[in-house]
Amino acid sequence: MRRISELIIHCTATFADQRVTVADITRWHKQRGWHTIGYHYLIDQAGNIFPGRPENQSGAHCLNHNAHSIGIAYCGGLDANGNPADTRTPAQKAALIRLLTELKHRYPHATIHSHRDFAPKACPCFDATTEYAHL
């Protein structure tokens, strides 16, 4: 089993109302040369949590952190003009807390981070590190 020390939050960098599925992201990531979706979980606008890459496999979501992290993405992250924005719905916010709480029970020493903590990106378009520091 992998030793998990980080839970890393991402957005899909898609429009707030754009429906994105695990199959869509898997296709996009395969086009980049990966063998499957890089995230371990995807949360849609309705707050549904979908499994992506199995937790026992290293992700492909954060350079130099994949071996010891779980990648979680929510659908959205772009406003109507294509600019980075916190587009999370109330259902997504609740689902993120639910999933992070569950993961922290399984991996109690894991810290929660925004993707932008490790890369020069706006992702996930809000400060997840601060928002979830209490978990």
- Residues acting as catalytic residues: 10, 39, 115, 121, 123
Output the CA–CA distances (angstroms, integers) from residue 58 to 3, 11, 54, 62, in the order listed: 10, 19, 8, 10
Closest CA to 11 of 129, 135, 109, 123: 123
Tell me 67's DSSP state.
Answer: G
CB under 8 A, 24+ apart: contacts of 88-91:
88/126, 89/45, 89/46, 89/47, 91/45, 91/46, 91/47
CB 132 within 8 Å of CB 100 = yes
